[in-house]
Structure 1
Amino acid sequence: MTNGRFEEELGAVLRRTGAGFEADDRRDLVTGGLARGRRRVRRRRFALVGGALALAAIGVGGVSGGALLGAGDGVDTVSVAGPKPTAGGKPTAATQDPSANAGIPVADLAAVLKANTPAGTWQIDDADGVGQSVTGVYDDGEGKAGVSVGLYRAGDTEESGRGQVTCPNEALVPHDDCTTERMVGIGRLMILQGYEYPDRRVETKNWRAVLLTEDGFLIDVSEWNAATQKDSPVSRPNPPFDPAQLRALVLAEGWRPLLKQLPEPVPQWPGSSQAGPPPAPGATVIRSTLRSLLPKGQDLRVVDQGGQEGYAYLVVDDGKGRSFVQINVQPAMDDIRNELFSDGDVEFTADETRVKVSKEAGEKGGKGVVWWSADTLAKDGLRVVVSAFNAGAQHEAATRAEPALTTDQLKAIALSPKWRALMKK
């Protein structure tokens, strides 16, 4: 997928959901997952990773430093922060988070931030504004550093709650360290020492602390060793606050009264009393179905796996090198049918399902990586996209000449009636 094609598709998704969201480099914000924006995010100096990015776009490879925190084998959560419809069950009002419209004074957020960090100078963005997050530049004399804090309501799903504080699979999100901590009466905390770019083409570090409180709130702190998240030179060896300081900041009592100012969630899906579109299948069932559809006779051994609601991935090896395979299963995508299938060679099956097959270069920096995909959209709006790469992870160098699956095999998987059967369960 070219940058232009991706941005066109992402724009279509955002227009559909009304998520007025911009980012400095959209390709680095997304990975395989649900192409549904959930929040109106005020753009300040940083496109906030974590809680402010309730977004992942179909068929886009790789992950940003904090945009997707995927669990490994046996764990079905990823940290694409932000509430989503309940996987495998009826959505509830709590799955739609209107807190992006919160009217918390940025000055109040900044006051808590300053009171719980070491002495230094601050340049706060939009200091007279209101919202649910604060961003700025901190300088303790050792180099300028970008810092952001966002306050959000956790969602009803595993991925929009506990998944936010689950350490990532290093195959998806390379990092130096990650710890989790369960605190009785407080909640669950994750501290991640990672990088802005998974391929580390720039040595910008992104360290995060995320607290999921027992009463259902998320406090998400991010810091960088550069003045801005992207497009600024590295200004210091590490972000300014060490893990202990990040922990103290995210646990600060000063956030509590501000969390109480976040609006209660209400149903917002147009034309429905529910809070979102029909739920996508959960990761476990998608992954098991995908495994059942792998071509027989190729001796494809699954060496890694993971996923989230509506998305799953497998890393397979047939003895010729690892190959990353991912699938997205999305209901209710009919309203952007023309925008998603407006270019390229589009086929139509007998039941009027649209099919588009592509072969492109990888986008996430892995040397020699190629990306093959089959994108399908049925008449009733069910979209299934299957992609394969010639590497075990999209930010790593190619391990083989071609992906382990051909485009015909990808197409056959995407068109399997098993996906529609999942939606009826």
Structure 2
Amino acid sequence: MPTDDEFADAFTDGFARALRGAAELAPEPVRHTLAAQAEQRGRRRRRRRRAVVASALAVLVLAGAGGFTALGGRPLGPTGPAAQPDPDRPEMSTRDFVTLITGLLPKGTVQELNTDGPEKLSGHTTGATLLFDDGAGASIVEFSVERTNLRPDAGAVCTDGFQTPQDACDRTVRPDGSVLVIDKLRNQNAKDGREWRVTWAAPDGRRVSFTEYNGQPATANRPEPPVADSTRLTELVTDPAWDRVFAALAPVKDAPRPGDSPPPAPAAGGPSNAELLAKLVPLLPAGAEVEKQDPGHAALTVTYQGRTSMLQVGADPASERGRDELATMDRNPPTPLEVRQKGADGTLVVTNRFGNGKSATNPVLHWTAAVHYPDGSQLWLSEWNGENQYTARPGDPALDVDQLKAIATAPAWRS
């Protein structure tokens, strides 16, 4: 079951940009394969790091700082595990890399936000965060160039609009088998904020990503990000100039090859969303009305005694990871409104209420109940007031945590 932090991630998709203690809460859900799941979790970690860069920049701008160096976040140059030097691999300096990406941007001025990386590219991935000003408002932009072991269907995916505010997402399979995604997201924590992400993923695992804001992540200063034309965005991430960068990056193990057959679909890891909803509905309290169901997210809208909320259910099959999580849960202190109850057979039932974060309680926005079984399987319910996972509102939910607990512990789930 997701932790409290992950619940907060899923429901708020926040882009908080405070200099200290910043935490961007923006998950990206399953869209295609298990590889995509892992990839999207990595993106979330990278966005958290990027939030620190953006926050530091905002503070410097407010303070009237004249330069931008060593602000943290993604370093310029290689990231990830260091690769063994290859004398046959072409070299590329970080200065050449910055010159290359500056040349790909439209006419304007560029300031580097990270200039403390290694002198030469060497790992599997590299990137840079810049402040780009085309005369219509300085904006943060970020480039990432990677060699991955992901096929295009996992390397370039749309964000789920159920969990993240989204204006549009266009996903195109190109004639060469590569995939292009242009994902236009909204920032609900910054008035009129926009974050546009463009990703190109090749059949051999190469990937170029470009992210741009309409200003700084916490403060919009223009209607749209600086590179607004879809054709121009496509050209930006598919330009042949990236070949030089890829040549300088180390290859990765198990990289796909063009023409490879798709991997077999992963075996089902538990009941389908439709099956979960079919079991959930009869367990609702007498008098509860289900207004609509969303099988894609195992969620439904329920009204009970005049109150309406969204209710989501999830289940994980028995696993070593689940057993480890249960065994180590006692090491982590409960959050302020969390209640844990362990049965004689070792089953742990956890209920919780929280706001926009692990320890936030004012206002309470999320109500959860989870059951951790000794074999590592898990069943969890989550409830909030809103039409999707980023519009949680305060107020009494349709079902209280005791009712959620009664549903989660019903024997029907084990049958």
Q: TM range, normalised to the smaller chain?
A: 0.5 to 0.7
**Contact 1:190 1:211 (C-alpha < 8 Å) held by counterparts:** yes
DSSP 3-state at the match of 1:202: coil
**Contact 2:366 2:392 (C-alpha < 8 Å) held by counterparts:** no
Q: 1:397 to 1:341 in 2, by over 3 A?
A: closer
Output one character per residue of 1:229-252: Cα deviation in whole Å (capped at 9) or x when no partner.
34xx32322211012221111111
Output one character per residue of 1:319-363: Cα deviation in whole Å (capped at 9) or x when no partner.
864514253637404445236752243111232122210123456
Q: Residue in 1 aligned with 2:348?
A: 354
Q: Residue in 2 aligned with 1:379?
A: 374
Q: 1:350 to 1:397 in 2, by over 3 A?
A: closer
Q: Residue in 2 aligned with 1:287?
A: 273
Q: Summarize the alignment of residues 256-267 of structure 1 with structure 2, pairs less than 5 Å apart.
A: 256-260=243-247, 261-265=249-253
Output one character per residue of 1:181-205: Cα deviation in whole Å (capped at 9) or x when no partner.
221115111112222x2x3543221
Inter-partner Cα distance in structure 1 for 2:242 and 2:315: 36
**Contact 1:41 1:100 (C-alpha < 8 Å) held by counterparts:** no
Q: Residue in 2 aligned with 1:255?
A: 242
TM-score under structure 2 normalisation?
A: 0.64
Q: 1:390 to 1:155 in 2, by over 3 A?
A: farther
Letter in 2 for 1:125: L
> Does 1:100 pair with 2:80?
yes
Inter-partner Cα distance in structure 2 for 1:414 and 1:102: 45
DSSP 3-state at the match of 1:294: helix
**Contact 1:167 1:178 (C-alpha < 8 Å) held by counterparts:** yes
Q: 1:176 to 1:345 in 2, by over 3 A?
A: closer
**Contact 1:359 1:373 (C-alpha < 8 Å) held by counterparts:** yes
Q: Residue in 2 aligned with 1:123?
A: 111
Inter-partner Cα distance in structure 2 for 1:217 and 1:150: 11
> Does 1:240 pair with 2:231?
no
**Contact 2:277 2:298 (C-alpha < 8 Å) held by counterparts:** no
TM-score under structure 1 normalisation?
A: 0.63
Inter-partner Cα distance in structure 2 for 1:132 and 1:411: 46
Q: Residue in 1 aligned with 2:290?
A: 300
Q: Residue in 2 aligned with 1:26?
A: 23
DSSP 3-state at the match of 1:372: strand
Task: Report the RMSD for the aligned CA atoms in angstroms.
Answer: 4.4
Higher helix proportion: 2
Inter-partner Cα distance in structure 2 for 1:25 and 1:280: 38
Q: Residue in 2 aligned with 1:211?
A: 200
DSSP 3-state at the match of 2:142: strand
> Does 1:184 pair with 2:188?
no
**Contact 1:353 1:376 (C-alpha < 8 Å) held by counterparts:** yes
Q: Residue in 2 aligned with 1:390?
A: 385
Q: Residue in 2 aligned with 1:86?
A: none
Letter in 1 for 2:294: D
Inter-partner Cα distance in structure 1 for 2:377 and 2:93: 41
Q: 1:221 to 1:419 in 2, by over 3 A?
A: farther
Output one character per residue of 1:392-422: Cα deviation in whole Å (capped at 9) or x when no partner.
2233264x9544444345335545788789x
DSSP 3-state at the match of 2:245: helix
Inter-partner Cα distance in structure 1 for 2:95 and 2:303: 56
DSSP 3-state at the match of 2:25: helix
Q: 1:220 to 1:258 in 2, by over 3 A?
A: same
DSSP 3-state at the match of 1:171: coil
Q: Residue in 2 aligned with 1:329?
A: 316
Inter-partner Cα distance in structure 1 for 2:48 and 2:241: 24
Matched residues, number: 331
Q: 1:286 to 1:258 in 2, by over 3 A?
A: farther
Q: 1:44 to 1:299 in 2, by over 3 A?
A: closer
Q: Shift in Å at residue 148 of structure 1? A: 0.8
Letter in 2 for 1:379: P
Runs (5+) with no aligned partner, structure 1: 11-21, 50-97, 268-278, 307-311
Letter in 2 for 1:294: L
Inter-partner Cα distance in structure 1 for 2:371 and 2:353: 15
**Contact 2:24 2:48 (C-alpha < 8 Å) held by counterparts:** no
User: Percent of counterpart pairs with the same letter?
Assistant: 24
Structure with larger Rg: 2
Q: Shift in Å at residue 212 of structure 1? A: 2.0
Letter in 2 for 1:355: V
Q: Summarize the alignment of residues 35-74 of structure 1 with structure 2, pairs less than 5 Å apart.
A: 46=51
Q: Shift in Å at residue 151 of structure 1? A: 2.7
Output one character per residue of 1:246-302: Cα deviation in whole Å (capped at 9) or x when no partner.
1111111122343352441379xxxxxxxxxxx99569x441332132131644244
**Contact 1:149 1:221 (C-alpha < 8 Å) held by counterparts:** yes
Q: 1:29 to 1:354 in 2, by over 3 A?
A: same
Q: 1:280 to 1:374 in 2, by over 3 A?
A: farther
Q: Residue in 2 aligned with 1:78?
A: none
